[in-house]
Structure 1
């Protein structure tokens, strides 16, 4: 069994690591960002790992966007860093973020004040991105800004990048309209993993489900994308309920098939 102090073969990106790089990985890139959803954080051993790309997939209305909003809210409220939220389908809801913060009194030890909620909002940078070309532009600009140390808020650097949803941007280009669609998809994957690795970010993306035949469903974007995320979770919601189930499809350290129930607050 691989030690948790060792980067996986996939993390190594096909290159050799020297001793100092291994030490840096252990000391700087093992930090976790809580999602604020207790079940998911327990399942993942504390939350979203920095330096990794985590995918949350599931059917429509299963709670994928809620995972994103809770993660953004908690990371910002705990002053862990700046959150960049790329909204591809008008899913970002400032009022929902305010409700999440207001409904989590232990964040501040008291009911959130207006100024505290405003502070959280200032730590979440939201940008609408509606096609693959806009995504490339935003990611390239983000890489330049991170390299120049310009993406910060009061001294806090960006630590979490959320794309909700990645599949709404990538699915249209791999259906035949764009001959280079799959190459573009892999380019996006490489940029995201480079950003995560070089700038110690946690990258969180959502993906929808498609038919796998015989009534079964599977994550969209095919086999080429399947190898990209370090972590893949599939979530489902019980009918007419706020109770959800998260199942590990892929993880560098956990066994596939591990499950946990969690509640998405109303």
Structure 2
């Protein structure tokens, strides 16, 4: 309930002083009061149902008044110059602050990546007023994108916002050496006059080594800096580091997960409020984790499809659809017996066992099925089980950190993929030549998983844009000219260790 006064500063809390402490102690938010049933809230708080119903109705009515869609008039009594109360000002009922047509007509400003291919895939660049996440493995190029945005935001429209940037790091400090390198070698900056070039003076950086300092900086210091300096870009690199260190220690108890979910919701709400209020772009970098499922296809006819009880993650609704533990679950001719103590889960079928390509899709309520629309790596079913697409089963299956709770807080997710490129190296031994496979380089791709302003890419690498990291930043690879496969680019060696 700690977000009530932030959402509705004028809410009359004194009338419900006997209810709010208990609701706050139980961790209920304003969204919970609007979405949960009154009996469910009563079970958690042990408060009278009638009082809870009145509180929920009051919160809903206050939101309607704040939006201007209530039949009641909102009365304001501003003080005049003499200290007295002036005339009451009533807002007309049914008048929205901004209509849907006005919102659509309002132009969205973008921050460019300074590469036309990448900007085209992003629908113009990184939009202002939204939370955009850039996720990928270590070395996929996340930091290179972020550093480029720190300089591009200082450019005038249409390439930037003409405003300074704020960089908050939870791991390594800001690399000013790499920023200077981008300024010196990027072709776009080289074409600008000296007076119009971005500078490091317009980039504010800080480091938050733990979650407590991160919350303090974001809650108290960042709003002041944003308003004082007219910040146009806020970067948090990375959002998962402090949460992993704070909540992943010890056993993953339900209380620990609930506390982390609440903290993530508050963080998302705060960042969204900053982006909307100040029309700035919020960009967060996120880590990924390896995804393991119960399936284990080896390419043989005896391979089994996924085992329903073994699936690593599932949505809450999936549990309800399974029924009791003593009831087998039937799916496309397969029957899955309930797990029994001391015995492994068995999957039996009266039909011939399918090949990996013919395996049935997971049930729609399982998270392993749902996440293909919002993770960027789980969207290629049945490709994760097909050796023809990835080269081996379950290769490159990743999941962005912080789970589904954090995914609901962001407006856009951009996933960066990388894949090794191997070459041949001749090794002379006793006069005989031996061919050895060595790692030569990395290939990288960028794909839009979901976004409000541009359509997402297709499954796997369909629609993804290949790019490379150079001395001047990130640059799209021209497939027609066949740049790849001819050795390392000049300047790539120095960026491999940057990120």
Shorter-chain TM band: 0.7 to 0.9
**Structure number with higher strand proportion:** 1
Q: CA deviation at 1:77?
A: 4.9
Q: Which 10-residue stretch deviates more, 95-104 or 207-216?
A: 207-216
Q: Is the 8 A contact 2:135 2:288 kept in 1?
A: yes
Given that residues 52 and 230 in structure 1 are in contact (C-alpha distance below 8 angstroms), is that contact kept between their aligned partners in structure 2? yes
Residue in 2 aligned with 1:124? 203
1:187 to 247, 266, 270: 266
Q: Which residue of the other structure, out of 467, 470, 473, is the alignment partner of 1:262? A: 467
The residue aligned with 1:51 is: 129
Deviation readout 1:68-121 (Å, 9 max, x if unpaired): 0111122235572110001111152111111111112433525x86x877x610
Q: TM-score, normalised by structure 2?
A: 0.45
C-alpha separation in 1, matches of 2:289 and 2:131: 21
Q: Show the counterpart of 2:240.
A: 167
Q: Distance in 2 between matches of 1:164 and 1:44?
A: 20
The 3-state SS of whatever aligns with 2:399 is: strand
Matched residues in 1 for 2:413 and 2:177: separation? 28
Flag the structure with more relative contact order, 1 or 2, with Cα contacts below 8 A and sequence separation at least 6.
1
TM-score (norm 1): 0.80
For residue 28 of structure 1, report the CA deviation from its aligned partner. 4.8
* Cα distance in 2, alignment partners of residues 101 and 41 from structure 1: 19
1:31 aligns with 109
- Mapped partners of 2:413, 2:121: distance in 1: 12
Contact 1:244 1:262 in 2 (8 A): yes
Answer whether contact 2:173 2:207 (CA < 8 A) is retained: no
Aligned partners of 1:20, 1:203: CA distance in 2, in Å? Answer: 22
Other-structure match for 1:9: none
Secondary structure at the counterpart of residue 213 of structure 2: helix
Equivalent position SS for 1:158? coil
Which consecutive unaligned segments of at least 5 residues does structure 1 have? 1-13
76-85 or 164-173, larger mean C-alpha shift: 76-85
Residues 1:98 and 2:192 aligned together: no
Tell me whether 1:69 sits opposite 2:124 in the alignment. no
Retained in 2: the 8 A contact 1:37–1:70? no
How far apart are the structure 2 equivalents of 1:65 and 1:198? 26
